[in-house]
Structures are given as C-alpha cells and as structure tokens.
Structure 1
Amino acid sequence: MSMRRGVGLAAFDNRQRTAQQYSDLGSTILSTHIAELTEQLRVFQAALRKFAESHADEIRSDPVFRSEFVKMCSTIGVDPLASSAGSRKGGSFWAELLGSDVNDFFFDLAVRIIEICRRTRDENGGLMLVEDVRDRINTAAGTGATQGQRAPSVSHEDIVRAVNTLAPLGEGFGIVRLANKEYIRSVPQELSRDQAVAIEAMQALGYITVPILRDNLNWETARCIALLDDMVAAGLVWVDEQARPREYWTPAWIR
C-alpha cells in the first residue's frame, strides 16, 4: 500500500513540475512576443514621425494628403488628435511632430461648423449635409484668399473628424448616415426611426406625401400624418400647401 502511495505522489510531483515548466515557457514566449511587438511599434512610430516632419506643409495644406496621413496613423494605432502621454508638452501627436498645435486646425474648423449649422438651423431643422458644410467653408476660404488671408481647404473627412471632436460637449452635434449620405445633426434630439426612413424616401424626389409613405411603406394614414406633422414642427421639412396631395420637401432641395 505504501509503495502505491509513493508512486502516486511521485507522479503527482512530476505533473506539477511539468505544468510549471509549460507555464514558465509560455510566459517566456509571451514576454518575447510582447517585446518584439513593442519594438516593431516603436520603429513604425519613428518612421511615422520622420514622415510627418518631412511632409508637415502638405499635411497642413492638402486635405487629401492629410486624410491619407490620418489613415496611416490609424493603421499603427496612433490617434493624431489624442493627447500623448509621451509628448514633451503633453499635447497631441501632431502638436509635437509639426511644431505647432495642429489640434487648433480641427477645433477652429469645429467652431466654423457650429456657426454654419446654427445659422442655417431654421432652414434645415438642424440636419445638414456634410458636403454642403464643406462647400460653404471652402467657398469662404477662397474668398479670404482673395483678400490676402490664406486658409487651407477642407475635405469631407476633415469635417467628420472635426464634428467628432465635439463629442465631449454632449448630444448636440453628431454625424448621421441617411440614404448613403452623411449629415451633421446639430439638434439634441436623435432622429426617430420613422423620421430617418422618411428622410431617406425624400432623396429620390426631394419631397414626400402621405400617399407615398402609406403606399410604399404600408403605414397607416394616421401614422404618416403624425410623423410629417412632427417633422414640420422640428423644421426638418417644408410644406407645399398648394400641392395636392400636400408635399413635404427637404430643405436641401430648395435653393
């Protein structure tokens, strides 16, 4: 009986030692792997830093180049707009690389977006195409250039990125996608599902009617009327009272 117990304990000890050896080997492999990945990331970031320093002017002035640079940053896990703990000034990645607070570009752009959205809210109900905002800003930049003030043009991606910087301010501003187009929502309330469907339906003709909603979506007439009345009250659509049936137009089609 004692011999059996000894053999059993020895086997148990062997299993423990084997398990510990596997654990130690796994920890060693994991540590080596992490070290290799850390070194690779450091090399990538150093190359990115050198690239940014060499092409600072293009990043500032060319919206296409700037967009591609941001994509390259994202590929290796660097957020150009985020505060960097390793930055000597405690600022953003771009601020350290380009020698000035490039965040100001996006924050200033965000301020201009807010001004445009608030100025046009009575016209569009707080829902404006990103492309329309971009065109207004670039038109203003061109006008400023003729007066001796140089301002970089902005891209669709610049507008979206600038709006996203407003997230800490709460629910007031955001990007919504409707019918394969991106809009800036500058009102606190979210669009309801019915409102989103109605706005998507407007993209073909620029307007909708109660029969269009009722016949194509199989909605009850009361639901259609209630929805459109709410959208009129919110300023999301304008009404053509003379049309029969009454037409509800998206402001984007009315120039």
Structure 2
Amino acid sequence: MSSNRRGVGLSAFTRNHISTAQYASHGNALRSAQSDSLQTQLSVFQSLLHQFSVTHAKDIRSNPTFRAEFAHMCNAIGVDPLASSNAGGGKAESGGSFWAQMLGGSVNDFYFELAVRVVEVCRDTRAENGGMIAVAEVRQRVQKGKGIGGGMEVSDDDVLRAVDSLHPLGSGFTITKLGHNQMIRSVPKELNIDQSTVLEAIQVLGYVTISMLQINLSWERARSIAAIDDLIADSLVWVDKQAEETEYWSPTFIHDTGGQ
C-alpha cells in the first residue's frame, strides 16, 4: 500500500510539472501574438496618420488648432513630432524628425524658427522682467515680428512646443505656472515658495506692499522684506516709491494690463 501511494505522489508531481511548463509555453505564445498584433496595429495607424498629414498638410501648417490636434494624435501613439526619428535605431538615411518626413520639413522648420524667436524675445526682455515672461506675451511679440512661418498664426501651444524643443540643447528654458498664467523662465534659477507666492499675489492684486503681505499672508515683516528683496535682486519686480507705502509691481502684470 505504501509503495502504491509513493507511486501516485510521484506521478502527480510529474503531471503538475508538465502542466506548469505547458502553461508557461502557452503564456509566452500569447504574449508574442499580442505583441505582433500591437505592432501591426501601430504600423497601420502610423500609415493612416501619414496619409492624414499629407492630405491636410496645408491646414496643419496654417491652423494652430489643427496643428495642436495633429500633434496630440502623434503623442497618443508615442510619436514625438519634434524628436529625431533615428532615436529608435532607424535607418540613418531616413533622417530628420517625424514632422520633416511627413510634411517635407516645413512644419519642423516653423518650430525651429519659432524657437529662435522665443529665445530672442526672452533675451530682449530680460532686463525688464528678470528672465520670466508670460507665454501669452511671447506669442504676441512673436506675432508682431517678421518672418515667422510667412505670417502664420502662432498659438500658446506652438510657443510651448517650441520651448520644449530647446530642452535637448540644455538651454535652461523652462515652463512654470504662476496662478493661472504659464511663464517661460529663461534663466537657470528656481523660485522659492515665498517668491512664487508674492508673484501670484501681484497677479491677483496688481501690486503688493510689505504691509499687504503681512496682513494677507500672515507673514512676519522680516519674511515679507526678504521675499521682496530676493525678487528685486532678480529683477522680477519693479519698485514704485510714489505712494505712501512703497509698492512692488510685476513687469509681466504691467505688460498684460497695458496690452488689454
């Protein structure tokens, strides 16, 4: 009896081992089939995207909303419109970016030229704003300039993509959010929490004073003065001593209200 029991146990162990191996083999086959299916679907989608871009090339180049939607479609399948197509080990002769391959380089050249203009605007206004400027103001200044895509309309989304395209160059250009406004920071220095809070307060109130910071933020006078002094040192606020108490204004806020 004991011998028969040992035989049944060994047999069950063998069958269990075979079943495990079969399950593993079947799982690998399923994963392989799914991977092949996804690759096929991706290839078909990219082909359709190519046809779409060729058919609607004019709209993509001239219409910023259409251009943004097309870029979102590219990103949805993991294609960065401004990234090199060779990053994945593609053929060297294909060259260029996805935009360049799809549209003959015209849109890619547009973003390159726009990035150059964004850098110029940030550089030209740095003495006024300390290297922090609203995306909307950059867009307005660029649209007033010459030679941007042959008069092509520029959107905030275009400006943001142009700034993103500068990252591989290590340019130090970053996008930061203050309140409801997106800002381009063109100097490699991060704002601390107190500086950001003061700038957000200026966006809401138009300007601040030391006493306003003390009352509205419950800060001690020394903390308020330190935050303001840091912003003045970075040229991020302007000082107005004409009122009873010294007022501190953001040059960005002044430009925004002046343009309305």
Secondary structure class of the residue paired with 2:204: coil
Q: CA deviation at 1:61?
A: 1.9
1:113-133, Cα deviation, whole Å (9 max, x unpaired): 111111111111111010000
Q: Which runs of 5+ in 1 are unaligned?
A: none
For the 8 Å contact 1:92–1:101, the answer to whether it is kept is no
Q: 1:207 aligns to what?
A: 207
How many aligned residue pairs are there?
A: 250
Q: Bigger CA drift: 222-231 or 32-41?
A: 32-41
Paired with 1:203 and 1:100, the residues of 2 have a C-alpha distance of: 40
**Partner AA of 2:112 in structure 1:** F
Taking structure 1 as the reference length, the TM-score comes to 0.92
* Deviation (angstroms), 1:246: 1.1
Aligned to 1:136: 141
Query: Structure 1 residue 101: deviation in Å?
Result: 5.7
Match of 1:251 in 2: 251
Greater displacement, 216-225 / 88-97? 88-97
Query: Structure 1 residues 123-132 or 70-79, which shifts more?
Result: 70-79
Tell me the amino acid that sits aligned with residue 174 of structure 1: T
Question: How far does residue 171 in structure 1 lie from its aligned partner after superposition?
Answer: 6.0
**How far apart, CA to CA, are the structure 1 residues paired with 2:16 and 2:45?**
43
What residue is the counterpart of 2:27 in the other structure? 26
Q: Which residue of 2 aligns with 1:229?
A: 229
Number of the residue aligned with 1:53 = 54
- 1:126-165 to 2 correspondences below 5 Å: 126-141=131-146, 150-165=150-165
Runs of at least 4 residues of structure 1 off by over 6 A?
A: none
For residue 6 of structure 1, report the CA deviation from its aligned partner. Answer: 2.1
- Does the CA-based 8 Å contact 2:203-2:253 persist in structure 1? no
Contact 1:56–1:98 (Cα < 8 Å) also in 2: yes
The alpha-carbon deviation at position 239 of structure 1 amounts to 0.6
Other-structure match for 2:186: 186
Query: Which of 123, 134, 143 is matched with 2:128 structurally?
Result: 123
- SS at 2:39 equivalent: helix
What SS does the aligned partner of 1:203 have? helix
How far did residue 157 of structure 1 move? Answer: 0.5
Structure 1 residues 101 and 13: CA distance shift in structure 2, 3 A: farther
- CA deviation vs aligned residue, 1:107-163 (integer Å, no higher than 9, x gap): 22111111111111111111101000001111224xx69xxx933221100100111
Q: Give the deviation of 1:193 after TM superposition.
A: 1.1
Residue in structure 2 matched with residue 112 of structure 1 by the alignment:
117
SS of aligned partner of 2:133: strand
Gapped regions of structure 2 (runs ≥ 5)? none
Partner of 1:74: 75
Amino acid of the structure 2 residue aligned with 1:151: G
